[in-house]
Amino acid sequence: MKKYIPLIALSLLICLFIYLFFRTEKTVVNQAFISLFSKGAYHSLKTSIHEILPLKPAIVYSLPEGLWVFCITITSKFFYISLGRIKVNLALVPLILAVGLELCQLLHVTNGRFDFIDIGFSFLFWLAAYVSTDTYKKEKNIHTGITFSNISCVFCYSIVYLAHVIQ
């Protein structure tokens, strides 16, 4: 798992960059940035970045979800959870979450807008992570104790909170 950390870190930094400078300032991460610096500094930097690097809507709105699914798939693939006698590889969970979140948006249960492109990005990044991740060791039960791998997995799941839009 440790060999994937640079790829995961780069993916999450790209997501952070997009969220900070191309998404609404009402997200948790943007509110934290504004609190640390100032609203004026944030808007000035955001305007400069938009002038230097204009991004297409698919990159702004779908790529971060795809990269997040990529990261949590990699970190999840090393674990399973037991449901009675059945072992479920946690690498399936990111795809289920991504599609589930889109369905919640479609039904207006959560903020956001349903988008098939988001599902497409999520599926492609999930597949890329699933196929390319080498789990040469047997998967472990996620509840086997605290390890670097467990913490990395939980961290990647929890980072999605930073994208939450504050009402």
pLDDT digits (tens, 9 = 90+) for 30-79: 999 999 999 999 999 999 999 999 999 999 999 999 999 999 999 998 88
pLDDT at site 69: 94
Residue 102 in contact with residue 118, Cβ under 8 Å? yes
pLDDT at site 28: 87
Where would I find the H helices in the chain?
A: 5-22, 28-36, 39-52, 57-61, 63-76, 93-106, 116-132, 148-158
Whether 16 shows a pLDDT value over 80: the answer reads yes
Tokens of 32: 């934290």
The whole-angstrom separation of Cα 12 and Cα 163 is 12
Residue 83 in contact with residue 143, Cβ under 8 Å? no
Domain ranges of the chain: 2-163
Residue 53 in contact with residue 45, Cβ under 8 Å? no
The dihedral formed by the CA atoms of 59, 162, 90 and 76, expressed in degrees to the nearest 10: 80
How much of the chain exceeds pLDDT 90, in percent?
60
Whether 2 shows a pLDDT value over 70: the answer reads yes
The residues with which 100 forms a beta bridge, in sequence order, are none
pLDDT grade for 137, boundaries at 50, 70 and 90: low
Q: Single out the residue of 21, 10, 16 nearest to residue 45, CA to CA.
A: 21
